[in-house]
Amino acid sequence: MWLNDKHVRQVTHGMRFCIRETSSENICTLRLRSEIVQWLERPLVSDINDADVIIDIDSKNSGSKGEFTIRTEHDRIVIDGHDAAGALYGFYTMLRRLSLGQQIAQFHSQPKQPIRMIDHWDQIDGSVERGYAGESIFFGRLGSNEHADIGVFPPRDTSNPFRGDIDRIIQYARFLASIGINAVALNNVNVRGDATRLILHPFLDRVKEIADIFSSFGVSTFLSVNYAAPKLLGGLGTSDPLADDVRSWWKQIADEVYKTIPAFGGFLVKADSEGEPGPMQYGRTHADGANMLADAVAPHGGTVIWRAFVYNSNQDWRDRTIDRAKAAYDNFISLDGQFDPGVVLQVKFGPIDFQTREPLTPLFGAMKHTNMLMEFEITAEYLGHQIDVNYVLPQWLEMINTRTDLENPDSEVKKTLGTNAIDGSRVGYAAVVNVGMDDNWTGNTLAQANLYGYGRMCWDDEVGSDEICREWIAQTFPELGDEDRERVFAIMTTSNATYEDYTAPLGVGFMVCKSRGHYGPGINDYEYDRWGTYHYADRNGVGVDRTMATGTGYVAQYSDSVAQMYEHLESIPDNLLLFFHHVPYTYRLHDGRTVIQHIYDTHFDGADAVARYIQLWDELRGKVPQNVFENVSRRLRLQLSNAIEWRDQINTYFYRMSGIGDERGRTIVP
Ligand code: GCV
């Protein structure tokens, strides 16, 4: 990925390092030493006068965890870490700057968010829910990916589901630390079968091996747990969070987990969601459920991350007042102020489910006394399965920079996470990751940039998506000249808008193919079904009326200024029009085009853009490694057929519905 071994060794060639510690050695400083000696293959010297790079590790009381300063002093680089993790971050930042040819003058850096988390949806049979890059890096048998392409796997050993590929985990932890990630959840939030046993020995001992590696890179490990574990594992008759035996069962579990892994982060929970068990089955609230677990981990300083992805997945579509978008707010707003300081509510950025275009979930800004994490999906479930190029940073940055009150510049989510928390050290971002056992980690090489960018955004929310993209390209393709880097840049920085163009028009969303796991068009696959995600297209118009005046009333969940903007056709941004309003096909957007013409134009434009990407990438033949060239080239060709399929299906569907032809006379029905 971006830490190209050969390149980082080249840029540090001839350098000697010296580590000065004022506090006692810990697992991170040991790691730093081995990173220098074993990974970079550079010597460590004891006399600072012999060193080109001096790393000071000085545990300070003031300042934030992980912060560091880099400066030059008499031709030497000095990295001053606030703590051992800060020294590590400073070290990787120095490598980045050297790789990018950037100057190392005086440079101070501190993370913008305290929790910068990665969630894995890895399952202990080695599969990854919504994974598009091969099997899990944690679970499954070592070497079992060898024949994955032809679907042949050796039999699994269910008594030991761990892959045990320690080298790969070390490499992965290095990637995470290099972008400032400090927390990781190892297993899927849908915790089923043997996965429920990860909190028990002997699986826990193997979790410890992984957690120790992550700890040495400054990353704490979390496990997803099944809320019904007291019944499933403990033989209790209930999992009611207020029952004494349930409470003491979880306490014992937490004690043993922390005895085994003292640096353990805590538990991640999906409860009462999409069929998973939870406290509501016992007539208890989410706060009752989360606080009980927080109580269990509190003596150890642990954290409980509780997901807000709770909605009725058995909706009666005939009832037009039910609106899935309203669910998170409806389920959680009354619990504001009731969660313990050790609980963090993890809320998806949009109210539906990681769609190409969604507004911000209204809980952000509305919860005033709750620790929150904003959740993203790096894995491209709805965004092209890492076949289609989709550099998604523009969307994420837009989300964290969204004002929850238009009149208040301090109401951007990246700020309100901290100001609305009851424990400011327990807020930040979490994202479902896109890696697997594929040689290039992410299926499509270009999809690596989303993991890289996510970490960069967590650390520094002032860096723009273009700058992040340039950084990633320069580190990943050091062999390319400026003109060729611009070609990659041109593809990537337009790819998110291109994907939106040929898929979801004007915020409508979810017209995805159910049988292909949300890849490709399925215009009516979720229409009038139990999942509650509709576009309501008919011969007169399209879109979901979520207004207060005539619709589901979802708009009322926002602050007044935002609600007014979304309520009225004059002020609604075009790209969210159909998320909030049902309009005729002849309705004119702010740019003067009709809705139907916008649909035709963007779908032709989107497919044309992908055809241009192929030409741009073809220019790189022989300039990037052959396997990388082939990897992207093959996927771009698949993307083109996908884009054409989307274009033709969407255009045909809306042509038939509306009966209105394309002003420009292009062929709609192929
Ligand atoms: C892990 C969506 C995905 C599911 C996922 C769920 C969630 O519904 O399709 O795969 O389950 O979100 O976030 O819990």
In degrees, rounded to 5, the angle at the alpha carbon of residue 625 between the alpha carbons of residues 619 and 627 is 100
DSSP element (H, E) containing 267? strand 266-269
In degrees, rounded to 5, the angle at the alpha carbon of residue 263 between the alpha carbons of residues 261 and 267 is 80
Q: For residue 471, which phi and psi values (nearest 5 degrees)? A: -60, -45
- The pLDDT value recorded for residue 565 is 98
Residue 130 Cα: closest atom of ligand 1: 10
- The pLDDT value recorded for residue 155 is 56
Task: Please give the Cα distance from 229 to 147 (Å, whole number).
Answer: 35
Q: Is 41 a catalytic residue?
A: no
Task: Please give the Cα distance from 651 to 670 (Å, whole number).
Answer: 10
| pLDDT tens for each residue of 319-331 | 888 999 999 999 9
Q: Is the peptide bond before 625 cis (omega within 30 degrees of 0)?
A: no
Contact 428, 417 (CB under 8 A): yes
- The pLDDT value recorded for residue 313 is 87
Burial of 138 from C-beta contacts in 10 A (0-12 / 13-18 / 19+): buried
Task: Please give the Cα distance from 373 to 307 (Å, whole number).
Answer: 9
Task: Please give the Cα distance from 660 to 668 (Å, whole number).
Answer: 11
Structure tokens at 322: 């039910």
85 pairs with which residues across the strands?
none
Contact 3, 475 (CB under 8 A): yes
Name the residue with the closest Cα to ligand 1, atom 11: 190
- The pLDDT value recorded for residue 61 is 62
Give me the amino acid identity at 297.
V
Structure tokens at 395: 């969307």
In degrees, rounded to 5, the angle at the alpha carbon of residue 380 between the alpha carbons of residues 100 and 269 is 105
Task: Please give the distance, rounded to the nearest whole angstrom, from the Cα atom of residue 337 to the centre of ligand 1.
Answer: 27
- The pLDDT value recorded for residue 320 is 87
Give me the amino acid identity at 401.
N
Query: Strand locations in 292-410, DSSP E?
Result: 303-307, 343-348, 372-377
Pocket of ligand 1 (CB under 6 A): 121, 129-130, 188-190, 270, 309, 353, 381
Task: Please give the Cα distance from 174 to 184 (Å, whole number).
Answer: 13
Q: Which residues contact 667 (CB under 8 A, 6 or more apart)?
A: none
- The pLDDT value recorded for residue 107 is 87
Task: Please give the distance, rounded to the nearest whole angstrom, from the Cα atom of residue 225 to the centre of ligand 1.
Answer: 15
Contact 372, 400 (CB under 8 A): no
Q: Is 381 a catalytic residue?
A: yes
Burial of 645 from C-beta contacts in 10 A (0-12 / 13-18 / 19+): middle
Q: For residue 114, which phi and psi values (nearest 5 degrees)? A: -70, -35
Secondary structure string (H, E, C) spanning 186-224: CCCCCCCHHHHHHHCCCHHHHHHHHHHHHHHCCCEEEEE
Q: Is 353 a catalytic residue?
A: yes
Task: Please give the Cα distance from 328 to 332 (Å, whole number).
Answer: 6
Residue 129 Cα: closest atom of ligand 1: 10
In the block, tokens 């890096």 appear at 137
381, 500, 501, 525: which one is catalytic?
381
Task: Please give the distance, rounded to the nearest whole angstrom, from the Cα atom of residue 265 to the centre of ligand 1.
Answer: 22
Using DSSP, state whether 421 is helix, strand or coil.
coil
In degrees, rounded to 5, the angle at the alpha carbon of residue 70 between the alpha carbons of residues 65 and 74 is 150
Burial of 190 from C-beta contacts in 10 A (0-12 / 13-18 / 19+): middle
Task: Please give the Cα distance from 85 to 91 (Å, whole number).
Answer: 10
Residue ranges in 410-481 assigned as alpha helix (H):
413-419, 448-459, 465-476
- Listing DSSP states for 474-529 in one string gives HHH-TT--HHHHHHHHHHHHHHHHHHHHHS-GGG----B-TTTTT-SB-TTTTTTS
- DSSP secondary-structure letter at 347? E
Structure tokens at 400: 């964290």
- The pLDDT value recorded for residue 372 is 98
- The pLDDT value recorded for residue 64 is 77
56, 240, 276, 353: which one is catalytic?
353
Using DSSP, state whether 178 is helix, strand or coil.
helix
Q: List, for the chain, all residue ranges whose pLDDT scores fall below the cut of 70.
A: 24, 59-62, 142-157, 670
Name the residue with the closest Cα to ligand 1, atom 8: 353
Residue ranges in 312-408 assigned as alpha helix (H):
327-332, 363-366, 393-400
Stated pTM of the model: 0.96
Using DSSP, state whether 91 is helix, strand or coil.
helix
50, 274, 410, 619: which one is catalytic?
274
Name the residue with the closest Cα to ligand 1, atom 12: 353
| pLDDT tens for each residue of 13-52 | 999 999 988 776 789 999 999 999 999 999 999 999 999 9
- DSSP secondary-structure letter at 434? -
Give me the amino acid identity at 582.
H
Task: Please give the distance, rounded to the nearest whole angstrom, from the Cα atom of residue 27 to the centre of ligand 1.
Answer: 35
In degrees, rounded to 5, the angle at the alpha carbon of residue 503 between the alpha carbons of residues 497 and 505 is 80
- The pLDDT value recorded for residue 71 is 94
Give the number of other CB atoms < 10 A from CB of residue 571. 10
- The pLDDT value recorded for residue 136 is 96
Task: Please give the distance, rounded to the nearest whole angstrom, from the Cα atom of residue 432 to the centre of ligand 1.
Answer: 10
Residue 381 Cα: closest atom of ligand 1: 9
Structure tokens at 503: 């898929």
- The pLDDT value recorded for residue 510 is 94
